[in-house]
Amino acid sequence: MGLSRSQKQEIYTPTKKSWSHFAVLLLIMSIKAHQATASDSMYPGQSLAWNQTLISRSGIFEMGFLKPGKSRFFLLGIWYKIISEFTVVWEANHVFSNPTLQLSEGGDLLVTEKGGEDFFLHSGLVYSNYTIGRGVLLDNGNFILKSKFYNTVLLQTFEPEFTTGTWLPGAKVPAVNTITNESDDSFHYRIPFLAKGQFSAELEVEKDGMGYLILYYTILPDGHLYKYGRYLSTKELTNQYVNVSYVSNNYERYFIYSVVPPYKFTRFVLNVIGELNLYV
């Protein structure tokens, strides 16, 4: 289905003093039908070589090793399989020269390479009471590691510790955990859900009890965080393409969004110059 190239609609323009802005970019790409032929799962004892991939059940996403640009190194990543323009939605923060992704019998999920150190994504010792069932790439772009008997998710790339610059539908953006050092009120420990370069986006709960997505710029070398742009609520983030919700209960607080039909593939992206964009 051939469609027109991208068009841009700006829904928030900051003052001249702002570092950046929140905008919606509509990237309409040609989409081709695809019949998934590879497995969406890997089981204990199996491995995935640098030239092999997992493909989600409906053929929407693919997971494997990729080479950014003309680099001779590999990154473990997840990208759209169904969109003709190569679009990465998740990358592990580590480079490899000759990698293999392995799921061991003991429940370790790691990348090994000859002559290099092993890179662990999950250690079986952390959940020693659970028997690993399989790792599976879902149709929403989330790779999860499931226990065999309790159907418990032990790992997922939608978690903040695997943060990237992309927010996909169905992923929760949790309220940031802030720990203040008593001897230094300026010190904060944060695990943002969205991060790219020196920019990050975090969900914070204000005194009114509502959650707001706040954009930060990290000033090096002291790591001071500078807020820029508007405090983004569900109202600012919701539009004709996506519906963003704020969930708050006794257990967790987070932002989550769904796609408004007839649109199917959307993603929020925080880029290297601090813009938060929505691609449709």
**Are 145 and 200 within one domain?**
no
Domain boundary among 157, 174, 204: 157
Q: Which domain holds residue 126?
A: 32-157
**Are 168 and 231 within one domain?**
yes
**Cβ-based neighbours of 249, under 8 Å, separated by 6 or more:** none
Q: Of the ranges 18-32, 104-118, 126-140, which one carries the lowest mean pLDDT score? A: 18-32
Q: Mean pLDDT across the stretch 222-243?
A: 93
Domain boundary among 157, 182, 208: 157
How many Å apart are CA 147 and CA 133, to the nearest integer? 5
Q: What is the pLDDT of residue 129?
A: 65
Q: What is the pLDDT of residue 183?
A: 43
**Are 119 and 11 within one domain?**
no
Q: What is the pLDDT of residue 190?
A: 61
**Are 38 and 94 within one domain?**
yes
CATH of the domain at 84: 2.90.10.10
How many Å apart are CA 78 and CA 140, to the nearest integer? 11
Identify whether the C-beta of residue 61 lies closer than 8 Å to the C-beta of residue 55.
yes
Domain boundary among 157, 188, 205: 157
Between 275 and 2, residue with greater pLDDT: 275
**Are 42 and 75 within one domain?**
yes
**First CA to last CA distance, the chain:** 15
Identify whether the C-beta of residue 214 lies closer than 8 Å to the C-beta of residue 204.
yes
**Are 60 and 90 within one domain?**
yes
Q: What is the pLDDT of residue 38?
A: 66
pLDDT in tens, 174-199: 987 544 444 444 444 567 788 898 99
**Are 144 and 183 within one domain?**
no
pLDDT in tens, 21-59: 444 444 433 333 333 346 999 999 999 999 999 999 999
**Are 183 and 273 within one domain?**
yes
Domains identified in the chain, total number: 2
- Residue 53 has a CB neighbour count (10 Å cut-off) of 20
**Are 193 and 279 within one domain?**
yes
Predicted TM-score of the model (pTM): 0.81
Q: For residue 238, give both structure tokens.
A: 């919701």
**Are 61 and 128 within one domain?**
yes
In the Cβ-directed half-sphere of 2, how many Cα atoms lie within 13 Å?
Answer: 0
Tell me the three state secondary structure of residue 5: coil
Predicted confidence band of residue 238 (pLDDT cuts 50, 70, 90): very high
**Are 43 and 129 within one domain?**
yes
How many Å apart are CA 21 and CA 196, to the nearest integer? 15
Q: Mean pLDDT across the stretch 232-257?
A: 95
**Are 51 and 112 within one domain?**
yes
